[in-house]
Chain A
């Protein structure tokens, strides 16, 4: 391949580029860039481009539909820092992440270990737990709306049977965010479970036998000695994916609460959506997006830089 490329360069007349890049090595390098140009430009256009566009937008005062815009520097960010709604939604998003990530990871791992330890029906359980992942969260949110309805919702009817008056789940300011967290966990557990199951299947059975011979006879001791360390890479992946997904919470908020009551369930992506598509403050929404991307970027960096090294053993 390389020699072919060299020949092609040798045969062609000296071009402008080849005058700049002198020597065979440079020819080759130039050709490499040329050949990968289509792929690279598509990548820049479709993957990096939008992010740069958002970043650029966040420094302007452009609104959807306007013919012109002006650069306003950090004005949007300044406004954001003084905006209660933004701080509220940032705090709510953090709480949501802090509840959903450990909740869905622990439950997913627990369920995966139970299924793996069971004798029968592995495929059945795997499929059932995976159903919420496959179902559209928008559609499922409507089902949850019915279940959580204060008067004729399934949960409150059941509580009534026990003589308890159930709260108005989605209208209670202190409760609504955690209800959404619950739905978030419900949806995410199946995904984590399937990943953990594949991780568990990859643990060499001999290690459990060695642990048994070494005296790790309790389930907890075996978990600490074998399962947990061997699941390191999978757990890291699950943590990062779940965190990113939790940061992206939107569907349930949009369908069930619209950020209410009184912004008790306002989250970053929902703020961004309302700013952009209800108030048409596109540039401000772009600034919120940049903050959102910042968190996701940090998560990705944490994954790449710090943790990945510690969980691969060979």
Chain B
């Protein structure tokens, strides 16, 4: 069992607070991703869980035991580093076997040559050999065992680092941006492999990344951090559809969500650029809001049926779809609209075009960036403003 509980964790470096009141429960066998922009404290949190750094306040328990006072090796966790941190002077085999040697052998059994003469050495060596072979088979690095890390490619080093972490069957794996040193193609490939590995091993994974795509594709749950705060912990689906904070909405999703400054008018009806939309907020006190709408929830339309009008300034061809950038007068950034290939081919740059926002998927945030309720207005009752 490796449930990991983090309670009211604080961390400061001098006067700088890097983690503020982080509380998080990670379930056994869960794949949890800590995601956020660089400098948000996600790596620090991971290192505190590992025991490589100590918290200023708060507690961490693993499998029900408090580990605040335990050294890294006694927490029974394994870590994969961004730089892989393989020992350059050891072969792949020796690298992978190191965690076993360090834990299962005492100092004189580790001595070169003499260690092999100690009682039980043969049995122990055989046991370790078997483990290394199992791991290398699983990761398909059997043919690399006698090479040094310097002779391997980035992807191969990545596998070796995974192997070194796996060989000991730890309670949980901690991964600190393990894919960020790989090229784009390999990164996507390793994404799947790590996710599959998680399924095979059935161990808790805590995965740190700044790449929202990695977080979305691999995790059971995502913990989104920003400026040392935990903003939202939810499944990828939930965090994408129901972000609780405008910063979450902005961070998750590619292309980015459209954020339009809006004003709540009479009856809470939302106006963007003085154009009333079919969206309202039930909260009568709210005035200035931000309307968030993802590019797939905006459609291009003819003028008569549109919410806003603008000029098509740029058309991104993504192959399977197009992203249209529509410059709406009065808005600072163009509105991104996802459209299918057929529609995309008919579009011409600089043409005037209308856009329509799907009211059901519109997200409203107050001036503090917090999510507020929104509702769709009945189309027929244009002057009644009744919430559906």
Contacts and interface: CB of A to CB of B under 8 A. Distances in A.
Contact of A217 (B73, B78, B83, B86): B73
Contacts of A206: 81-83, 85
Nearest to B72: A212
B102 interface: yes
Contacts of A225: 87, 98, 102
Given A206-B85, A229-B87, A215 B107 contact: no
A207 B107 contact: no
Given A206-B81, A313-B148, A314-B150, A213 B72 contact: yes
Interface of A: 204, 206-207, 209-218, 220-221, 224-226, 229-230, 232, 313-314
Given A213-B50, A215-B102, A217-B71, A204 B87 contact: no
B111 to A, nearest CB: 9
Contacts of A224: 110
Of listed A212, A214, A232, A314, residue having the most chain B CB within 10 A: A214
A206 B110 CA distance: 22
Contacts of A212: 51-52, 71-73
Interface in B110-139: 110
Contacts of B88: 229-230, 313-314
B83 A204 contact: yes
A206 B164 CA distance: 14
Nearest to A216: B102
Contacts of A209: 52, 79, 81, 85
Nearest to B170: A213
Contacts of A211: 102
5 contacts: A206-B83, A209-B52, A209-B79, A215-B73, A314-B148
Interface string B73-112: 1000111011101111110000000110011000100100
B311 to A, nearest CB: 50
B73 A210 contact: no
Nearest to B90: A229
Contact of B85 (A210, A220, A313): A210
A232 B83 contact: no
Say what secondary structure dominates the interface of chain A. helix
B156 to A, nearest CB: 14
Contacts of A217: 71-73
A119 to B, nearest CB: 13
B128 to A, nearest CB: 13
Contacts of A214: 73, 98-99, 102-103, 164
Of listed A218, A230, A314, residue having the most chain B CB within 10 A: A314
Contacts of A207: 85, 87
A308 B52 CA distance: 34
Given A226-B87, A313-B88, 17 more contacts: A206-B82, A209-B52, A210-B85, A212-B71, A213-B52, A214-B73, A214-B102, A215-B99, A217-B72, A218-B107, A220-B107, A221-B107, A225-B87, A232-B89, A313-B150, A314-B148, A314-B151
Contact of B77 (A204, A213, A221): A213
A165 to B, nearest CB: 43
A211 B50 CA distance: 13
> Closest 8 CB pairs between A and B?
A314-B150, A215-B102, A210-B85, A206-B85, A229-B89, A313-B88, A215-B103, A214-B99
A204 to B, nearest CB: 7
Interface string B33-72: 0000000000000000011100000000000000000011
B42 to A, nearest CB: 16
Contacts of B52: 209, 212-213
Contact of A213 (B78, B87, B110, B150): B78
B105 to A, nearest CB: 10
Contacts of B82: 206
Given A229-B87, A313-B148, A313-B150, A210 B72 contact: no
Contacts of B151: 314
Interface in B140-158: 148-151
Contacts of A218: 107
Contact of B79 (A210, A221, A313): A210
A72 to B, nearest CB: 51
B107 to A, nearest CB: 7
Interface string B192-228: 0000000000000000000000000000000000000
B377 to A, nearest CB: 56
